[in-house]
Amino acid sequence: MDGFIAKIAELMTMAGVDSKDIYFKRCLELPGYYRPTKRWDIIVKHGDSLMAALELKSQVGSFDNNVNNRAEEAIGNAVDLWTAFRENALAPSISPWLGYLFLLQDCPESRTRGNRLNQPHFKVLPEFRNTTYSTRYEILCRKLVLERQYNAACFMMADQDNADKKENYREPAEDLTAAVFLDRLLRQVAR
């Protein structure tokens, strides 16, 4: 994800953000509410005010083992930061912008139906029935924004075998593209 992080930092600088306000290699810890700190992937801080915090994650293989873990992690990180913000741990910041970018391996396994859902007591929500792993991540990203845990989310898929090709990724959802994500971020941080 280092390439994504560097490119996002470069785009913010090109949009007018002072490079000294962008943190992506060091000083990435922000206070939490349920834990002392959380290390984010990119932070934008102007003066004493946190402008943005971004989390970038990827997954290659082990889809069945990790899809729920990634969801819990994304939700937990946002809840922790928003609660810390409510408790003035980030004062005097205005409401910061939170972004979540997820890159999933594009392979037959990620495009196949996920594990059998155990439903011993209640049925899962209809949108999760007979879904692929990639669809589950798309749903996660969309709901993170819908529920205002993150201001924007980006969901991309890439095939490791096409890493050297110019078009080596795809964006399965129009509302979760890199263009939408970056536009929303730059509106928040550019001065």
Determine the longest span between alpha carbons in the chain, in angstroms: 54
- pLDDT, one tens digit for every residue, the chain (191 residues): 788 999 999 999 999 999 999 999 999 999 999 999 999 999 999 999 999 999 999 988 777 778 888 999 999 999 999 999 999 999 998 899 999 999 999 888 878 876 667 788 888 888 888 888 889 899 999 999 999 999 999 999 998 776 566 677 889 899 999 999 999 999 999 86
The model's pTM is: 0.90
Q: Is the four-CA dihedral 148, 114, 116, 68 of positive or negative sign?
A: negative
**Structural domains of the chain, count:** 1
What range does the domain containing 32 cover? Answer: 2-189
Residue 104 makes CB contacts below 8 A (sequence gap 6+) with: 58, 59, 110, 133, 134, 137, 155, 156, 157, 158
Q: Which helix (H) or strand (E) holds 18?
A: none
- Tell me whether the omega of the peptide bond preceding residue 92 falls within 30 degrees of 0, making it cis: yes
CA nearest neighbour of 17 among 182, 176, 135, 157? 182
